[in-house]
Amino acid sequence: MNAPLHPSANRPDDGSGHEPRLRAEGLLALACGGPVELASWERLSGGAIQENIAVEARVATGPHAGKHAWVLRMDAQSAVAVSLSRESEFAILRAVHAAGVLVPEPLFLCADEGGPSFFAMRRVPGVTAGHRLTKDDTLVPDRPRLARELGANLARLHRIAPPVASLAFLGDAPADGAKACVADYRRGLDELGAVRGEAWPALEWGLAWCARHAPAPLHSRLLHRDYRTGNYLVHEGRLTAVLDWEFAGWGDPREDIGWMLARCWRFARPDREAGGIGSAEDFLAGYAAEGGAGVSWEETIYWQVLAHLRWALIALQQAERHRSGSQASLELALTAHIVPELEGEILALTKARP
């Protein structure tokens, strides 16, 4: 039997994804129009849902000839139903990159019958770790500037309004984003409650409060839905790219703002409202300066309550994946123990407001 004639064929199997690597080289060669060797293959710490693999690609000939630092993004073992496919995420990245949002440039979408679909994007330098970015001032020497950049970048994303032909898979935009969220989260709690015979009165209180206080809706925009510290790269103090677009969809733009400002994403610095990085004022000023809606701190409270409700629901859903046996994981099991803290935030934010 002939060994496959392939640049990687002679490398020993070091347990670092030898077969996926061969497959990726083949598919990338088709996409690039020239032979591709992946000279390195390094798993980056990624989400539980997707794997990010840093590669050094050497393209021998063709329009992409040269050495490139790329990241390949592919499904991990267990994907979550609400997250987008790699094909869809690639389409989102193309749309937001074209709109001037700071993201890793999407390059090639690769799919065949031999394994999970993946796409290649240009590797962007920077740090994501929330506890480091919120603690270490050498990483973020000018915090007001980074907070404004985060706001401005979100405003560029929120310029994208439905309908967009290449994003038809996102479905129809909700007429009222807040009410759609409340209905959605109630449905989520009902599904978990039916499985476990449990209920979460503090979360129900938060949802009842949100149902009563729903603000007049803004027109739907493209939302990231996980726009927070931990999901973007900071290099030399500047925002370089926003990652993890798998939850993107249409909704009220203030939903993303509330998620960014919510206390649960401030890591080491709960006193800095904008993701533990800087002040809400700077974040909201950067947002408005780039054409985003003028949003007051008081107006964001509603969306912060919704953010805590959503994170609590996701935490319960993650714990259920462990409890049901579908994915035994200590990390998923422990996620349920975040919920009481989120409940405390919901109670604190709603108590002083009728």
Partner 1 sequence: MKVEPGARELLEAARAALVNEVIPLLPADKRYAALMAANAMAISIRELSLPATEAGERGRLAALLGQPASDPIAEANRTLAARIREGAFDQGSARAALLGHLEATTRERLAVSNPRALRPPQEKP
Interface stretch with partner 1, choices 15-23, 53-61, 122-130, 270-278 (CB under 8 A): 270-278
The CA–CA distances, whole Å, from 40 to 18, 43, 51, 58, 329 equal 11, 10, 16, 10, 29
Binder among 205, 218, 238, 288 for partner 1 (CB under 8 A) = 205
Bridge partners, 249 (sequence order): 223
Binder among 193, 237, 288, 327 for partner 1 (CB under 8 A) = 193
The verdict on 176 binding partner 1 (CB under 8 A) reads no
The verdict on 347 binding partner 1 (CB under 8 A) reads yes
Question: How many positions of this chain bind partner 1 (CB under 8 A)?
Answer: 37
3-state SS string over 237-273?
CEEEEECCCCCCEEECCHHHHHHHHCHHHCCCCCCCC
Least spacing, CB of residue 157 vs partner 1, in Å: 25
User: Which parts of 247-266 interact with partner 1 (CB under 8 A)?
Assistant: 263
**What phi and psi values does residue 313 have, to the nearest 5 degrees?**
-65, -45
The verdict on 338 binding partner 1 (CB under 8 A) reads yes
Report whether 3 contacts 13 (CB < 8 A): no
Name the amino acid, one letter, at 256: D
The verdict on 345 binding partner 1 (CB under 8 A) reads yes
Name the amino acid, one letter, at 101: V
The CA–CA distances, whole Å, from 107 to 165, 171, 281 equal 20, 25, 36
Binder among 67, 131, 187, 212 for partner 1 (CB under 8 A) = 212
Binder among 63, 197, 294, 325 for partner 1 (CB under 8 A) = 197
The verdict on 200 binding partner 1 (CB under 8 A) reads yes
The verdict on 12 binding partner 1 (CB under 8 A) reads no
* Alpha carbon distance 150, 282 (integer Å): 9
Site string for partner 1, 271-300 (x = CB under 8 A): x-x------x----------------x---
Report whether 305 contacts 178 (CB < 8 A): no
User: Which residue number, 38 or 319, has a Cβ lying nearer to partner 1?
Assistant: 319
- Provide the greatest CA pair distance for the chain: 76
**What phi and psi values does residue 248 have, to the nearest 5 degrees?**
-60, 150
Question: How are beta strands 106-110 and 238-242 bridged, if at all?
Answer: unpaired
Least spacing, CB of residue 207 vs partner 1, in Å: 7
User: Which residue number, 106 or 276, has a Cβ lying nearer to partner 1?
Assistant: 276
Binder among 67, 131, 235, 337 for partner 1 (CB under 8 A) = 337
In the complex, which residues of this chain contact partner 1 (CB under 8 A)? 186, 189, 193, 197-202, 204-205, 207-208, 212, 263, 270-271, 273, 280, 297, 330-331, 333-334, 337-341, 343-345, 347-349, 351-352
